[in-house]
Structure formats: structure tokens, C-alpha cells
Amino acid sequence: TIENAAGKESKMLNDINGYTRTCGLIGNPVEHTLSPVIHNTLSMVLGENLAYVPFHVENGRLEDAVKGAFALNLLGLNVTVPYKSDVIPYLTDIDPLAENIGAVNTLVQTETGYKGYNTDMPGLYRAMCEDGVKVKGEKVLIRGAGGVARAVAMLLLDKGAREAILLNRTVQKAQEVADEVNRIAGRKFSKAMSVDAYDTLPAGKQYLAIQATSVGMYPHCDAAVIEDPAFYEKIHTGYDLIFNPPKTRFMELVEAQGGKAYNGAKMLLYQGIIAFELWTGCKVESWLADKVYERMQEAKKTEDGK
């Protein structure tokens, strides 16, 4: 059980031996990451001889970092901001979903180098399934048009959503993303809309909304792109990809109009779990996912208290 595993935690460093495999995270910054909690807990409970370590990679050193990791026989890496797209030229292979999304967050060792995957979107989808949020056949509003919003639109296409409307402050950016997604879809699946134009959307709780901007993220917790309750009346479910704070202003506004609201913590959990499964071949069952999620919450409270 995880309780037994937690008891063993102090012994963990002594358990590192000549057979220990290493995985890690590359990014800049990496200091506040919760990923070591996810992977080291999974390793302990599942008895995998694997250690996970964050590596701060300075700008301009990404190629050296990937080559160095391969030379050191690292089993795998996660990749975070700002390197998720920049890392692609240094891979020997790329999964088709990651290629379509244009961002990689997980590297898996092969004989000749690393293969890149995107587990953020499968992670979001697994989180939504766990939370009972349906995608197939849904009309979806995506707030934002950055790298994550684009990936969300690709996921929605892949999982059979009916349409994806991108609402963004800069409409031009939303239009570029919609055009790109429609090109891959081979039909008009996505369209762009200015954030001010939401009153043209039909009335009634018809939409699932996915909040993919950085607005409302700690320490600016009181901010939301749209405050008008009329917008939230159109939404039956709101999914905010932000996980700090746990209840964002967007979520409060959705709930105030009777909708259901979720944050991005489970997306973070499942992107990690899927990466771990790729590295080790293990299958993480839902009871263990729940326990890891509890440990993430505890670790976050400790970090917040510092």
C-alpha cells in the first residue's frame, strides 16, 4: 500500500544501486515542479527501481541536455516550459499525435535516441473521463489560442467533439489555430471568435468550456477573461487547465450559473502517469492514481507554506 511505501521513503536513497534507472524533467524553471512526487511515489509503490530528478536547463543548452541525457543512458525525460516545441529537432522519432500538436512533453529512450510523445492531451482526456466529462458529440468553447489551446483543439477533433470555437483576445491568433486544425481535420471543425463576441452564441447550457489561458493563475487569482454571467449561462461544464489556485475565478463563475467546474490538477497527474507507463510498461490503476493525487495535494500544501 502507499502507507507502507511512505514508511519506506526515508530508505529510498539507500535503495539506489547500480541497476537504478533515471528519469527526469528538463525545463526552465523546474524548481516548483510536482512531477518528482508523481514518479517517485509510483516507483516506490510499484517496486520499480527508478529515480526521477528535475534538471534546470539554461536557455541555449537544450541540445546539449538531450544529447547528454542519452549519453548518460537516461530512460526518459519530461519536458516543460519553454522547451516543448524547441526539443523536437533533437528527437530521432515522434509520435503522430505529438507531431500534430507540435509539442512534446515526454521523451522515451530508444536504441538511437529519444522518441517524443505528448502526454498532456491524453492526460487531459483521461482526467475528463475520470471526472465524467463527455467530449464525443459536444460543442466546445476553448478560451485562449496559445500552444495548449491548439493542442486541446486537436484532442477534441481526435475524440469526436462536434465543434471547437476558439475565443481569444487576439482573434488573428485564434483564426490561425482554427485554420491549422481545420486543415488537419479536412473539414470545418473549428472556428475563431473574439472574446467580446460571446453574446452571439446561442442561449441555453449548450457548451463545454475549456479555459486554456494563463489568466487567473496564482498570484493573480481574482482574474478571469470574461466576468459577465451571461457568458457562463451558456456553459454546462467548465474545465480550467490551471491548478493553482485549486478553485479559479473561472470555476467560481461557472458554478455561480449552475455549471460543473474542474481544475487542471488531474490533467497534471495523468500526463505524469501516462509518461510513467510509457517508460516502465506498468499500468497504473485508478486506486493508485487517487493515492498519488492525494500526495500531490499534500506536497503542494507544503510548497505553498514555505
Find the part of the chain contacting ligand NAP (CB under 6 A) among 5-13, 71-79, 169-177, 285-293.
169-177
> What is the smallest separation between the CB atom of 225 and ligand NAP, expressed in angstroms?
5
* In the complex, least distance from residue 221 CB atom to ligand NAP, rounded to whole angstroms: 12
Q: Between residues 5 and 249, which has the closer beta carbon with respect to ligand NAP? A: 249
Amino acid letter, residue 278: L
Identify whether the C-beta of residue 304 lies closer than 8 Å to the C-beta of residue 156: no
Asked if 271 is part of the footprint of ligand NAP (rule: CB under 6 A), the reply reads: yes
Crossing angle (nearest 10°) for helices 265-280 and 35-46 = 50
Q: How many residues bind ligand NAP (CB under 6 A)?
A: 24
Contacts to ligand NAP from residues 124-163, by CB under 6 A: 144-149
Least distance to ligand NAP from the beta carbon of 103, Å? 8
Interaction between residue 166 and ligand NAP (CB under 6 A): no
Q: Toward ligand NAP, which CB reaches closer, 95 or 120?
A: 120
Closest CA to 242 of 252, 234, 257: 252
Rounded Cα distance between 165 and 5, Å, is 45
| Distance separating the N- and C-terminal Cα atoms of the chain | 29
User: One-letter amino acid identity for 118?
Assistant: N
96-124-287 Cα angle (round to 5): 115
What single-letter DSSP state applies at residue 18?
T
The one among 21, 139, 159, 173 contacting ligand NAP by CB under 6 A = 173
Which is catalytic among the residues 84, 115, 234, 291?
A: 84
Q: Of 91 and 121, which CB lies nearer to ligand NAP in the complex structure? A: 121
- Of residues 48, 95, 120, 138, which one binds ligand NAP by CB under 6 A? 120
283 has catalytic annotation = no
In the list 16, 214, 221, 304, the residue contacting ligand NAP (rule: CB under 6 A) is 214
Region of 70-78, 132-140, 265-273, 285-293 interacting with ligand NAP (CB under 6 A): 265-273
Q: How far is the CB of 44 from ligand NAP (least distance, A)?
A: 22
Strand 50-56 to 21-27 pairing? parallel
Query: How far is the C-alpha of 297 from the C-alpha of 8, rounded, in Å?
Result: 20
Tell me the backbone φ, ψ of residue 162, rounded to 5 degrees. Answer: -75, -45
- To the nearest 10 degrees (0 to 180), the angle between helices 286-305 and 35-46 is 140
Examine residue 267 and tell whether it contacts ligand NAP (CB under 6 A).
yes
Task: Name the residue type at position 306.
Answer: K
Q: Which of 25, 42, 107, 268 binds ligand NAP (CB under 6 A)?
A: 268
Q: 94 φ, ψ to 5°?
A: -145, 135
For ligand NAP, the closer of residues 70 and 216 by Cβ is: 216
Q: How far is the CB of 214 from ligand NAP (least distance, A)?
A: 3
Peptide bond into 82 cis (omega under 30): yes
> Which of 51, 28, 31 is closest to 40 using CA atoms?
51
Active site residues: 84
Which residues contact ligand NAP (rule: CB under 6 A)?
120, 144-149, 168-170, 173, 212-215, 217, 225, 241-243, 264, 267-268, 271
